Structure 1
Amino acid sequence: MLLREIEVFRAVITSGSASKAARLLGVSQPAISQSLRRLEEHAGMALFQRVRGKLHPTQEAEALLAEVNRCFVGLDAIEHRLRSLRQFGAGRLRIASLPGLGVGFLPRVLGGLDLEKRKVTVSLQIMASREVRARLLAGEADIGLMADEVSLLGLEHSEFARYNGVVALPPGHPLARRKLITPQDLARYPFLSLNPEDGASAQLDGIFQAHGVTPSTVVETPFSLSLCELVRHGVGVAVVNPVTALDYLDHGVVLRRFSEQLEYGCILAMPAGKPLGSFAQELLGIMRARLHADLQGLEAVLDGRLALDA
């Protein structure tokens, strides 16, 4: 394939004219015209209609552009990687994480490290668990944190965390006077839930059914982070991921124990057959220690030994 001609083709369509494409690529306008003719000869079809000195893309050209743009996304990623390697060398760790651990927990972990002194750059990308898996399989992430309901085929993995959900309440809520919240308690107030396809949501539905109550659900959302924000703004009450809930202790959200066991699981995954560097291995140890300390702190809050939610 004529890569230079493809680049010219894309520049002409995206810029709107051959003259603008010539300035963009730093070549003459006749060179642009010659490249387009070579591409059309190679393709065996006209890609532009030439009307009064102007180029108008044909339907075939528009269809080709969609494929070209997809290829250039990959080329842009390669160029970005080359720039990173020039600036930082191989000292770059790519982490993809579900929001429950990526928004608050991982920044707390990284905040305890002197990345500049270590000459390490971390790429922290927050996304849904299925996207984390896709990044890992494509070799676009070195470490991934994702929910345990996602397929692990083709990945090296281990359990990173398993913890029970806690009840999140708005400040001053009547249930805040209790230390233990039951399904019957939750059914009396506007309820916030994870999307039905979420594993924790399915568990919670089973708990409500076993207790013979039906919650008055007012909002469904895919992330515990969103549940905590909704609780903070007084929209309702929710059972949430405890690690996510920790970020809201000093933002007015009250946390209480849930009388039932609602498990959240998080998987640590990596591309198969790709060993981690020394910094990544050290980071995993720090992450586990930080998680242990966070959950101990949460227990102190729930036991009333640390009154951050007063």
Structure 2
Amino acid sequence: MPLSLRQLTTFREVMRSGSISQAARTVGRTQPAVSTMVQTLEDQLGFALFVRTHGKLTPTPEAYFFLEECEDILSRVERTERTLERVSALQSGKLKIACHPAASSVFLPRLLTRFLVGKDDLQVSLIMRSSDVIEDMIASQQFDMGFAETPAPRASINQVNYELECVCILPAGDPLRSAEVITPADLDGRPMAALFDHHGTALRTETVFREAGVRFNKRFELRTFLPGLTFVAAGACGMICDMITAYSHILQAPEADQLVIRRFRPRVSAGVSILTPGYATPSMVSRAFISDLQQEVGQMMTYMDQVLARG
């Protein structure tokens, strides 16, 4: 019969107290039950742990050797229990996140900072990659979750999709700051910053200009919208960009330095998704962070709708 943790704990208490009755009180059992457990333990081990003389227990040399083994085993078990308690409380473990550029500088780090409060033993890996690379990383289970542009559905990925409207960003003193809504006609021929040619947002933006019969003047071709904020602030161009980039600018910039952010019509959308591996069960900490991320995206959409409504 294998030894049990209860047997080891009881034996340790007998050795520590030197008394069956005191050990019984410590472990919350009756004295006969502890005596029987010690006797059963000796029978299983095949040697005596105590010499019994006039009702007094004297440990044998083998008992001291066995105590060292018990202490080592029970210490490991107790450490494991403490670790599992921290994991259960989301205070320990690992969280691996892959994030696309738009959310990697402000949006996600800001959320992570709040999430990590009180979780000093939680290890986080946060990398920035392009959305197509993130898709493959999540499908191959290299990361717990990804936040990226919406991919085509595939069985190896679970995704929660959001369709976010793009906004128009102009220099702080731009004459169009009094307009509530910006249209392609307002920007006819004006220098603009946009993403590289085959990106979906760039294609949709150029399409609405073409359908409106006005010229889209792409002065700056970008890999991400983030550097475009600097060009806009300098008065070098305007930009139709994703909501997360605009929201991040509002969070960081002093009110006096904020750019003009207005609703753009016809609507141009940019999809983002929370991605998790399709063939793996997410950890507790991963599920908790995803829940916070979903709330944060919802709060951002509500806030930006209020900003755009104010004009």
What is the TM-score of this pair, normalised by structure 2?
A: 0.65
Deviation digits for residues 155-212 of structure 1, max 9, x if unmatched?
2222332111100111101111211101011124211111111111111121111101
- Given candidates 119, 127, 144, the residue that maps to 1:142 is 144
For the Cα contact (< 8 Å) 1:154–1:271, is it kept in 2?
Answer: no
Report 1:1-310 matches (<5 A).
Answer: 91-117=93-119, 119-148=121-150, 150-249=151-250, 250=253, 251-304=257-310
Residue in 2 that maps onto 1:7: none
AA partner of residue 279 (structure 1): V
| Inter-partner Cα distance in structure 2 for 1:153 and 1:289 | 25
Change (3 A) 1:155 1:103: farther
Question: How many equivalent residue pairs?
Answer: 217
Structure 1 unaligned blocks of 5 or more:
1-87, 306-310
AA partner of residue 234 (structure 1): G
For the Cα contact (< 8 Å) 2:210–2:216, is it kept in 1?
Answer: no
**In structure 2, the residue corresponding to 1:303 is in which secondary structure?**
helix
For the Cα contact (< 8 Å) 1:100–1:223, is it kept in 2?
Answer: yes
What is the TM-score of this pair, normalised by structure 1?
A: 0.65
AA partner of residue 124 (structure 1): L
* Structure of higher CA gyration radius: 2
Structure 2 unaligned blocks of 5 or more:
1-85
Deviation digits for residues 101-139 of structure 1, max 9, x if unmatched?
222211121122234536312211111112212322343
C-alpha root-mean-square deviation of aligned residues, in Å? 2.1
For the Cα contact (< 8 Å) 2:189–2:214, is it kept in 1?
Answer: no
For the Cα contact (< 8 Å) 1:103–1:126, is it kept in 2?
Answer: no
AA partner of residue 209 (structure 1): R
1:271 deviation in Å? 2.2
AA partner of residue 131 (structure 1): V
| Inter-partner Cα distance in structure 1 for 2:191 and 2:101 | 24
